[in-house]
Amino acid sequence: MPPPLVSLDHITRRFGTLVANDDVSLAVQRGEIHALLGENGAGKSTLVKILYGLIQPDNGTISLDGTALRVGSPQQARAAGIGMVFQHFSLFDNLTVAENIALVLPATAGLKRLDQRISAIATRYGLPLDPQRPIWSLSAGERQRVEIVRALIQEPRVLVLDEPTSVLTPQEATTLFATLNRLKAEGKALIYISHKLEEVRGLCDRATILRAGRVVATCDPKAYSAHALGELMMGRDIGAVRPPSGAAVGAVRLRLNQLSLAAPDLHGVSLHDITLEVRDGEVLGVAGIAGNGQSELFAALSGESRTLADAIVIDGHAVGDQGINRRRALDAAFVPEERNGHAAVGAMSLADNLFLSRHALPGLLQHGVIDNNALRARTVEVIAGFDVRTTGPEAAARTLSGGNLQKFVVGRELARQPRLLIINQPTWGVDALAAAAIRQAIVELATRGAAVLVISQDLDELYEVSDHLCALAHGHLSAPRPAAELDRSAIGLLMGGANQFAAEAAHVG
Amino acid sequence: MSSVFFQAVAATIIASSIPLILAAIGELVAERSGMLNLGVEGMMLMGAVCGFIGAYFSGSTLIGALCGVAAGMAMAALYGLLTIGFAVNQVAAGLALTIFGQGLSGLVGAHFVGLKRDGAPHLHLPWLSDLPYIGHMLFGEDGFAYVAVGLVAGVAWFLRYSRAGLDLRAVGDNPASAHALGMPVGGIRLKAVLFGGACAGLSGAYLTLAYTPFWSPGLSAGRGWIALALVVFASWKPWRVVLGALLFGGATILQLQAQALGIRLPSQMLSALPYVVTILALILLNLRRNRGSLTPAALGLPFVADT
Amino acid sequence: MSVSPWRFKLVTRANPSRALVLLAPVLAVALALVFGALMILALGKSPLQAFDVYFAQPLADPFSLAEIVVKASPLVMIALGLAFCYRANLWNIGAEGQFVIGGTLGGGIAVATHGMTHMTFWILPTMLVVGMVGGALYALIPAVLKVTLGVSEILVSLMLVYVAQLNLDYLVRGPWRDPKGFNFPVTAGFDTAATLPPLWPGGAVHSGVAITVLLVIIMAVVLARTRFGFAVRTAGLAPRAAGFAGFEHRRLTLALFALSGGLAGLAGVVEVSGVINQLQPSISPGYGFAAIIVAFLGRLSPVGILVAGLVLALTYIGGEAAQIAMKLPLDLTTAFQGVVLMCVLAADVLTHYRLTIARRAS
């Protein structure tokens, strides 16, 4: 058997006391798509950053074609034939497509014929691009094409893709798989990171599973069920979320009447004529790919962006022109997507972070001065009630792991027993245990009679918690339909904007 | 009014716009890399005093100018150490640099206050300078004017067409992405800051070697700040710096020629004119700001690689 | 360019080190003293002698101590407001102008009521209020331009310093000049009714100092224990989280500029009515800029600012003494203050990051 095209052998890398990679080995053959699986924090990112030269390992070697080589920088990685498609795009919004691509080429490469080279790659792999458009004007799917073309233009032999489908509709993902299979047929070695285990089983030839920085298994993913792969990743069985008990659906708690909102800035998305209802005891799931107006919709719902008063009605009160605290006073609670810097302030204590969303409600101020004892007591309640692993209410928010901080910010809102919960990407970047706990809490809140609106990019999650589903595409929302009646391909089409015939026609034309 | 009068007016406008062009074009490059250096005034003052001392002892305007450039760069290096090396808040570090420059320039120049030397010679370009009417106006300047225009042209070309310019713009747009691609974010930013310092130093040297031409403490009189405003006014586009500088030069001329034009206003009001014009210019610019602004997305934001 | 095999790296600390938070400013001042000594050596003087004149002698002399307190008062008062602004990431750097405007407007009342003998009790309180309101309104110019048009508050507030100074210069040389003043560009001396009484009869410390101490206490409580203080802290640490908390950034911007401008204006009128007792072309040796240093040296906390204000006031008094005793130029003080600020900022990094030395992979 020939040596593998690329191999990482006995890689160890420590950050302080944390061992991010502990004696990790990984080998990929020509024409192989190799999955790298593991929970958040398992060490996948560190490993591929080492391969791409962004991090130096403390121990271990990298070999190409059986020859050890040192990868001291991304430039050296690219020169050796290693390409990378980042999960959070490493693109420059204000530069054009061609300029973004030129940045990874040697300085001596002529920029004049770059457009032709881009077109050549684009045609060969079915990735159409206009080289002269600025990045900010592109959709998430188009941006990913730029990332991939930028990696391919260097004719890499090894290509790393970090969660490439997290920003794609199911249909777009299928197109991407066709491109990846063509690369595989050309004899390239692909390392593929994903959380979507079904996808990995369909696409990948082999899988290496990391847990807490160590390799726990190397296997053929097709020989395992997704559930079994999940168990390998987590080291234990995660029980499924108990489905909604079908609680009696009550009165309309939240109503949106033709909510429209212009994009706040150049890079934002406008919302168009969004109409929906959420009733007590019901969970409405809003599907959609990142960048289709989710943040803007959340901002409008929370009051961080203002609309016409009548556009948003909570419990019979028109609040579209009111701030977030007026809405909280109507028993509404909000959990934004971003934990750090939006839902919580990393540098502040958990107690201060509780004050952040509760200060306008009664109980925490006495004669205008913060009642530290009451604040502490409320914080301890949340920590205990939601199993937040921390040293106490004085701990700075940034010392908590992602999952624990998310449990805290969700718990902070749920402990109030809200009648309406608006939550955006409830389990983004959270470990499976915490994610299951959060989803369970959402379902139970609805069972107790609250109305819940969940915005998420994760279809599995939405099917787990929702009674009704709809999709947000280019700022338009499809009509909600019962989750049981809507299969994945149907919702996928809606996520791609299939319900806006006019917009679609304009796009194609 | 005679053409001689207009030529004199034009010459004064150009002369008073040169220090602004020089300082602003340097700051523009620094800002396009994401570095907001509020220390321009301090760098200018150090350039002014060191330029004067260099020329005083060497007798050469060129050596003086080089001393000014070196002083500006040394100050910029200090700023770079703080903001790039220690991730200090850029606004605070820039203010510190200005305060330090004001004090240090006074200290260094204490023995040179009131000393005089001849202003930089005006270059006579054969044929061009002899053109009727506009010849003297456009081609009768000292070397600094030509350097200033050359710098603007060079910077415009560099940012638009060169690969290093592309790297610099990328770093100013998204330093995290630039780092992920393996670009030396800190190094690129440091070079941009040093270039800004060199230009500010040259601008200061122009003041003591050609414009006044002597040293007195604090003689930059807020020109460093006006240059900062000019970069905003120019929407980070190099040639607009020239346009803006001429406008401010016009405000200065009004101040000097008001008497001749028969305008009777308190001198303090005329002295305040450049500052008021700066504020008005910023207001007007923001009233009609369009989508095409080149404001660097990462301007003023520190970058610390987390790996 | 040669590359050293070692490189410094900053690693974020999860919890800022408590000891370093207190130690950093001390380290910074020590480091600044080293640089100060180098500057004095370069001037051909003895650093030891200079430090003695600069720092030791004023502290040993009761008269100088009183002067330090009087000089620290405006620095602390201005820095209190600036600290709130800077914590919220708002950059009012025009406190010098707001100070001058406060002094000018408050002093204007003293000029207008000069010679009044009956019913004069209202003059001093009115001066203080007018000076404060004037400073607040002047600071609101950049704030309003920022929230309505997005104009840089840094540049506008700074430009307005020059305008305020020229305005005062015009007034004292023109309409407000004392006709009996031998053509000196000064106003008439203020009447007793327009001057701040000393803290105790015959004392060298005016009662404005008491206002400053009171303000330190109030601002410390406001910052640590009220919703407004919480909003200020949140706005600077995480603007989006502040929005999530329901704090409106525009209103906060206006409030903080009004607050910092008001305190600077109050400091200005206290200075003219408590120390100078007339208006003259320059009423500030750069207090508005030095207060920026005080704010940072005090770590943007009210109590820290009180200490930092005294330290910086010492450099002013010491600087004057050194000029007389050792012929050291006054610019040395400004340069030294700049060095202090740079050292404070650099030392601050130690509380947020760990400085590690990594070997370059070779």
Q: Digits of tens for pLDDT over chain B (307 positions)? A: 466 777 777 888 888 899 999 999 999 999 999 999 999 999 999 999 999 999 999 988 899 999 999 999 999 999 999 999 988 989 999 999 999 999 999 999 988 988 887 666 665 555 655 655 555 555 556 788 889 999 999 999 999 989 999 999 999 999 999 999 989 999 999 999 999 999 999 999 999 998 888 899 989 888 999 999 999 889 899 999 999 999 888 877 777 777 667 777 788 888 888 899 889 988 988 887 654 567 888 888 888 776 4
Give me the pLDDT at residue A116, please: 86
- Do the strands A59-64 and A82-85 form a parallel or antiparallel pair, or are they unpaired? unpaired
Whole-model pTM: value is 0.90
Distances (CA, A) of A270 to A293, A441, A460: 7, 32, 27
Rounded-to-integer distance, Cα A206 and Cα A192, Å: 10
User: Does A420 have pLDDT greater than 60?
Assistant: yes
Q: How do strand A369-370 and strand A158-162 relate by DSSP bridges?
A: unpaired
CB atoms within 10 A of CB A504: 15
Residue A327: exposure state from Cβ atoms within 10 A (0-12, 13-18, ≥19): buried
Interatomic CA distance for residues A469 and A489, integer angstroms: 13
| C1, C100, C166, best to mutate vs chain B, most B CBs in 10 Å | C166
Q: Which partners does chain A have (≥3 C-beta pairs < 8 Å)?
A: B, C
State the pLDDT confidence band at C5, using cuts at 50, 70 and 90: very low
More confident residue, A376 or C349: A376
Q: Across the interface, which of A70, A347, A359 has its CB nearest the CB of C245?
A: A359
Q: Say what the pLDDT of residue A505 is.
A: 45
Measured between CB atoms, which of C227, C237, C246 is closest to A365?
Answer: C227
Provide, as residue numbers in chain B, all residues whose Cβ is less than 8 Å from the Cβ of A95.
Answer: 166, 169-170, 173
Taking CB atoms and an 8 Å limit, are A344 and C15 in contact across chains?
Answer: no
Confidence of residue C121 (pLDDT cuts 50, 70, 90): very high
**pLDDT for the residue numbered B3:** 67
Q: What are A418's strand-pairing partners?
A: none
User: How many percent of chain A have pLDDT more than 70?
Assistant: 94
Our CA-based measurement puts residue A374 at a distance from the nearest CA of chain B, in whole angstroms, of 36
CB C268 within 8 A of CB C101: yes
- Of all residues in chain C, the one with the smallest CA distance to B221 is C162
Reduce the DSSP state of residue C206 to 3 states and report it: strand
User: d(Cα A410, Cα A344) in Å, to the nearest integer?
Assistant: 11
Contacts of C348 in chain A (CB under 8 A): none
Q: Measured between alpha carbons, how far is C260 from C92 in angstroms, rounded to an integer?
A: 8
Residue of C nearest to B99 (CA): C338
Neighbours of chain B (3+ CB pairs under 8 A): A, C
Rounded CA-CA distance B99/A10 in Å is 54
Rounded to the nearest 10°, the torsion over CA C107, C108, C110, C111 is: 120
Coil, strand or helix at C18: helix
**Size of chain C, expressed as the number of residues it contains:** 362
Instruction: Quote the minimal CA–CA distance from A338 to chain C in Å.
Output: 10
Query: How far apart, in whole angstroms, are the C-alpha atoms of residue C233 and residue C217?
Result: 18
Q: Which residues from chain C sit within 8 angstroms of residue A340, using beta carbons? A: 238
Predicted confidence band of residue A504 (pLDDT cuts 50, 70, 90): very low
C155, C170, C172, C312: which to substitute to probe chain B, counting the most B Cβ within 10 Å?
C155
Q: Copy the structure tokens of residue C79.
A: 């820095």
- CA–CA gap between residue B192 and residue C180 (Å, rounded): 57
- Is C93 a residue whose pLDDT tops 50? yes
Concatenated DSSP letters of A332-365: EEEE-S-TBTTTB-TTSBHHHHHHHHHTTSTTSE
Banded model confidence at residue A233, pLDDT cuts 50, 70, 90: confident
Contacts of C349 in chain B (CB under 8 A): 86-88
Fold observed for domain B3-288 = ABC transporter involved in vitamin B12 uptake, BtuC (1.10.3470)
Q: In chain C, where do the E strands start and end?
A: 6-12, 353-359
Cα dihedral sign, A153-A159-A164-A168: positive
Q: How far is B200 from chain A (nearest CA, A)?
A: 28
Sheet holding A82-85, edge to edge: A82-85, A158-162, A189-193, A32-37, A206-211, A214-219
In this structure, the dihedral spanned by the alpha carbons of residues C343, C345, C346 and C349, taken in order and rounded to 10 degrees, is: 150
Asked if C221's CB is within 8 angstroms of A325's CB, the reply is no
Which amino acid is it at C295? Answer: A
Neighbours of C303 (CB within 10 A): 14
Between A318 and B271, the higher pLDDT residue: A318
Confidence of residue C361 (pLDDT cuts 50, 70, 90): very low
Q: Are A128 and A176 in contact (CB under 8 A)?
A: no
CA dihedral over B43, C92, B273, B268, signed as positive or negative = negative
* Under 8 Å between Cβ of C321 and C57: yes
User: Which among A241, A277, A243 has a CA at the least distance from the CA of A452?
Assistant: A277
Lowest mean pLDDT among A338-342, B215-219, C202-206: C202-206
pLDDT for the residue numbered A238: 64
DSSP H or E run through A482: strand A481-482
In angstroms, rounded to a whole number, what is the distance separating the alpha carbons of residues A294 and A218?
Answer: 37
Closest chain B residue to the Cα of A76, Cα to Cα: B182
Q: What is the mean pLDDT of chain C?
A: 91
Inter-chain contact B304–C149, Cβ cutoff 8 Å?
Answer: no
CA distance C274 to B52: 42
Q: What number is the average pLDDT over the span A67-88?
A: 90
pLDDT of A141 over the 50 cut: yes
What is the CA A272 to chain-centroid distance, rounded? Answer: 24
C-alpha A195, offset from chain centre: 10
What average pLDDT does the structure give for chain A?
89
Looking at residue C16, what is its pLDDT?
64
Quick: pLDDT tens for A387-406. 999 999 999 999 888 889 99
> Tens of pLDDT along C70-79?
999 999 999 9
- Cβ-based burial of A319 (10 A; exposed 0-12, middle 13-18, buried ≥19): buried
Q: What is the reported pLDDT for A242? A: 65
Which residue type is seen at A240? A
Percent of chain C with pLDDT over 70: 93
Average pLDDT over residues C36-43: 91
